[in-house]
A = this chain, B = another copy of it.
Amino acid sequence: MFSPPELRQDPVTGRWVIISPERQKRPQDLHVTPAKARSRDDCPFCPGHEAMTPPEIMTLVGTALQAGPNRWDVRVVPNMFPALRMDGALAVGAHEVIVESPDHDASLASLSVAQLTMVLAAWRERIVALSRDARLRYIQLFKNHGASGGATLEHPHSQIIALPFVPDLVRAEIDGARRHFAVKERCVFCDIIHDEIRDGRRLIEENVDVVALAPYAPRFAFETWILPKRHGSRFEEAERGEYQGLARLLKSVLRRLDRALETPPYNLIIHTSPFSEDVSDIYHWHLEIMPKLTRVAGFEWGTGFYINPTSPKEAARVLRAVAV
């Protein structure tokens, strides 16, 4: 009934888009306001409703992988309305959902550090598993939180879209990192971490493994990056202690944002290395959290530039001052 998803490139700029008609019923069904949040009773991600989703790809119980659907702490399922599919003729890819907790009312900020560590383990497992498919080049892991953040279901979840090529923004980061390395023989992200910790004004929080900072040129008010202090180009190759440190810091940073900005909608993304490229010396995996406090509008769509009303120094100062 629907055309399959299709990858298209703009003939002038080369910009990629995914035309994905399966994600739409009729044009009239497109709406700015997302579908009304479902109650627990008809939430497809709640325990007992496993039959409302396609069969699970994996579940985690405690720290153990388990096949059965009956009891789970984290559950990964195919997206019901995939932007890309592995059997796509014109656009091979994958689209998965990570249900981050059995608790409908939880949020990433409210999960225990142990539960959050399981979510990170699920992210890592799926990246490793998908990296084995030679048709795929990159995984974009992302989370849309809150209606204005683009979430259409309120039960806490994140998503993975696996792509047959490397996204423009990751390419731009790798190109920039390569230029820096050519001149300095150092990772640009390692230099940023070193400089920001020393300077302190844009520092939000750190522990022995990871650091949270407000980047120098943020697109969005209160944009926050979390980076591992130890150089590493792949999120999925971090060490056990780093995931635990990340879980602790991520929880703390999200609580700071919730308290300072009254539980804002946000998008969270991971940037890691493409599967089939060795950028291990120059690239540095990281998380980006983008609260959605202002609207991206005509100026941004026309220029590709962003107007940000909050300086990163001020954002960091506000977030540091929150008691967590």
Would you call B18 and A308 a contact (CB within 8 A)? yes
Q: Does A70 contact B (CB under 8 A)?
A: no
Chain B residues positioned under 8 Å from A308 (CB to CB): 17-20
Q: Does A218 contact B (CB under 8 A)?
A: yes
With A19-B311, A31-B293, A309-B20 known as contacts, the answer to whether A304 contacts B11 (CB < 8 A) is no
Chain B residues positioned under 8 Å from A23 (CB to CB): 307, 309
Would you call A192 and B302 a contact (CB within 8 A)? no
Q: Does A46 contact B (CB under 8 A)?
A: no
Would you call B15 and A140 a contact (CB within 8 A)? no
Q: Does A298 contact B (CB under 8 A)?
A: yes
Q: How far is the CB of A301 from chain B (nearest CB, A)?
A: 5
Would you call B10 and A161 a contact (CB within 8 A)? no
Which of B142, B148, B176, B298 has a CB less than 8 Å from the CB of A302?
B142
Copies of the protein in its oligomer: 2
Would you call B16 and A148 a contact (CB within 8 A)? no
Chain B residues positioned under 8 Å from A290 (CB to CB): 301
Q: Does A238 contact B (CB under 8 A)?
A: no
State A84–B15 Cα separation when bound (angstroms).
28
Contact residues of A between 295 and 316, Cβ < 8 Å to B: 295-299, 301-312, 314-315
Q: Which of A50-58, A108-116, A263-271 contacts B (4 or more CB under 8 A)?
A: A263-271
Contact residues of A between 240 and 292, Cβ < 8 Å to B: 260-262, 264-265, 267-271, 288, 290, 292
- CB-defined interface of A164-176 with B at 8 Å, one 1/0 digit per residue? 0001111011011
Chain B residues positioned under 8 Å from A188 (CB to CB): 11-12
State A310–B3 Cα separation when bound (angstroms).
10
Which of B13, B18, B294 has a CB less than 8 Å from the CB of A169?
B13
State A144–B264 Cα separation when bound (angstroms).
23
Q: Does A85 contact B (CB under 8 A)?
A: no
Q: How far is the CB of A51 from chain B (nearest CB, A)?
A: 26
Q: Does A232 contact B (CB under 8 A)?
A: no
Would you call A307 and B20 a contact (CB within 8 A)? yes
Chain B residues positioned under 8 Å from A261 (CB to CB): 27-28, 30
Would you call B271 and A302 a contact (CB within 8 A)? yes
- CB-defined interface of A24-39 with B at 8 Å, one 1/0 digit per residue? 1001101110100000
Q: Does A83 contact B (CB under 8 A)?
A: yes
Q: How far is the CB of A297 from chain B (nearest CB, A)?
A: 3
Q: How far is the CB of A272 from chain B (nearest CB, A)?
A: 10
Interface centre among A28, A142, A298 (most CB of B within 10 A): A298
State A290–B32 Cα separation when bound (angstroms).
13
Q: Does A117 contact B (CB under 8 A)?
A: no
Would you call B161 and A297 a contact (CB within 8 A)? no
Binding site for B on A (CB under 8 A): 3, 6, 8-21, 23-24, 27-28, 30-32, 34, 83, 140-144, 148-151, 159, 161, 163, 167-170, 172-173, 175-177, 180, 188-189, 192, 215-219, 221-222, 260-262, 264-265, 267-271, 288, 290, 292-299, 301-312, 314-315, 318
